[in-house]
Amino acid sequence: MGRSLTQRAKSRGSSHCEPSPLNRPPRTKRSQYVIAISVYLALALLLWANVWLTGNVSHAITCNCGDTVEQVWWLEWLPWALVHGHNPLLTNAIFARLGGVNAMSNTSWFTPALLLSPITLLFGPVASYNVANLLAPILSGWAAFGLAGRFSRRTGSRLVAGALFAFSPYVLKNTMLGHINLTLTAYLPLTIILVLRLLESQNRPVRTGLLLGLLTIGQFFLGFEVIALTALAVALFALGVVLVRRDVIVAAWRHVLIGASSAVALSVVVLAYELWFYVDGPRHVAGPYWKVTSGRPWMIINAGRDIFTGNGALRAVGYLGARGPNTMFLGVGIVLFIVVSAWFWWRRRALLIVAGVAVVCWLLEFVDHNWWAAVPIVSSIGLARFALPVSLCAALLMCASIDGWWSAIVHSSRARASGVGGLFARVGVVALVVLAFVPLVVTYTVPLKVVRPVVPLWFRQDAATLPSSTAVLAMPFAYGVQSRPMAWQAETNMSFNLIGGWAFVPGANGVNDEIMSPLRGAIADLRTMSEHPRRLSVAEQRTIRAAILRWRPVVVVVVPHFASTCSEEMMQETIGLLPRLRDGSWVWAIGTDNRLGALRERSAAACN
């Protein structure tokens, strides 16, 4: 009967179907990349069908709130600052009168903001936001497809790997929340590709190192977390190579040293000022930026509760639809498929390294949060973010697993003997892969929900006529995830400076972010007026009055449609002056020489 299927699969470990990632891979045809990009474009269009197929690209958005507002704002800020000659690294357009914002302490999306600036200038920041969210999974999938070429020559297997990485629950949830810095993840697979090229004697290490440096510079202006996650993942891969293929490191250490030195040198030269601005520049913030939370081991196969409904927390940070699976989820089907398929690839040492990195990163998702919070620098990486390298490793293992089944079944003696048998074998492999994805795919609710928010008339018309030295204090108060006025500011071409906003800024201790060290005084009292005006005390009103006097010239605007009930009455009592009704909003214009009226005593019937 000849050798068994398993023996045949094992014997092909060095065959043409199973290239080694540590050696130069076969060249991927241009047509293969075209196919990959087309597939990922189709999936991205399905995800954003309510924008690109049935909506308005310049106006449809997941929510004019939460992190989405912050992203739209930064996409507008960079081209506006460059056109008007401002330093883009420090802005007073938000947190005006409060010190401004250090862009390097924030995920400021400068790379996509710069590349998409023509779209922003022509069609507005919401259009750029939608273009960025459409392209992010396409670029990430393309990069993962390229890396998978180190492990497989089959286009189908590589397509699956790229799709799993680019449309994983980690990417889906961050896409919902407008986190381009966490969904444009091509940096991770591209960095691994370049590091692998440094292990090849045929490549020029300086050229490869410079490419790695340019890639890192681009990622630096997109977000630091992916750089840190990539560095940790690459370090784990390097450790694995040292343990199982020390000969590769010994043979290529000069190439690696030259390439790494070139990358570091270029990055330091270009980013020296920006690094200083991040570490010690004005209004910089020291981490951790938020409280560290840990996951649970079973979250990789448990999507979570109520995944087909939304909740208040999700709506607050920027998405009005179903919450979907947790970011760490992959599904029992994919995990089981990879584990069972290990029989076909466990002798390939490169894949053992990939599996080891996946396990370590998975374990890091639920380390003790107190311990993680005490580790300098990396404590600012959310533990849930380790789902990114886990999903890439799972994608590569999925690719190898599909190859293993294909080689074992399709090339079996029975399949070769009968054309019908070969057809059924191929269908069987495809069916196995589809079944593996079912527990994951059924947790998704697509297309993503979007709305078409309205910018109040006052912000569209009157705000543009304000003198440049005037700041705007809006109700609802722009603070934290409830920063709708930031969207109004961005969508009206930065026509005014805004008191408050949503960004990482020094808190009460002047070091940590205000989430870790809450701001007091007028900021806290304005939040009370915005959210619970009936609870505002006379002492808090006096604090707000003193702040308004310090912030002159200032225009106070209460937008009835968006502000809490009673906000206009409480603001009028606090300022002591009657407002003007302008374009549907209540407005107080307080110049440098203006004084406030007498603080009114609240009547028993006030705000009823």
Read out DSSP for 322-361? Answer: ---S-TT---HHHHHHHHHHHHHHTT-HHHHHHHHHHHHH
Neighbours of 79 (CB within 10 A): 21
For the chain, the residue count is 608
Sequence-distant (≥ 6) Cβ neighbours of residue 443 within 8 angstroms = 169, 303, 307, 324, 325, 329, 331
pLDDT digits (tens, 9 = 90+) for 542-600: 999 999 999 999 999 999 999 998 999 999 999 999 999 999 999 999 999 999 999 97
Give 14's pLDDT tier (boundaries 50, 70, 90).
Answer: very low
Q: How many CB atoms lie within 10 A of CB 326?
A: 21
CB 67 within 8 A of CB 176: no
State residue 157 phi and psi, 5-degree precision. -65, -40
310 DSSP assignment = -
pTM for the model? 0.92
- How does pLDDT run across 140-157, given as a tens digit for each residue? 999 999 999 999 989 999
What are the distances in angstroms from CA 479 to CA 123, 453, 544?
A: 27, 19, 15
CA distance linking residue 224 with residue 228, whole number of Å: 6
pLDDT at 6: 41
Please give the pLDDT value at position 294: 84
Find the Cα–Cα–Cα–Cα dihedral 320, 322, 328, 329, rounded to 10°.
Answer: -160
Q: Is the pLDDT of residue 481 over 60?
A: yes
Token pair 């199973």 in the structure block, residue: 18
- Per-residue tokens: 94: 């938000």
- On the question of pLDDT at 603 being above 60, the answer is no
564 token code pair? 């809490």
Residues paired with 580 in a beta bridge: 587
Q: Which is higher by pLDDT, 406 or 195?
A: 195
- Write the CB contacts of 543 (distance below 8 Å, at least 6 apart in sequence): 521, 522, 525
Cα separation, 377 vs 371, whole angstroms = 13
Alpha helices in 245-299, H assignment, sequence order: 246-280
The pLDDT value given to residue 416: 57
Phi and psi for 314 in degrees, rounded to 5? -70, -40
SS3 content of the chain, % helix, strand, coil (to 5): 60, 5, 35
Letter string b/e over residues 561-585, b meaning 16 or more CB atoms within 10 A of that residue's CB: ebbbebbbbbbbbbbebebeeeeeb
The predicted-structure confidence for 22-58, as pLDDT tens digits, reads as follows 666 778 889 999 999 999 999 999 999 999 999 999 9
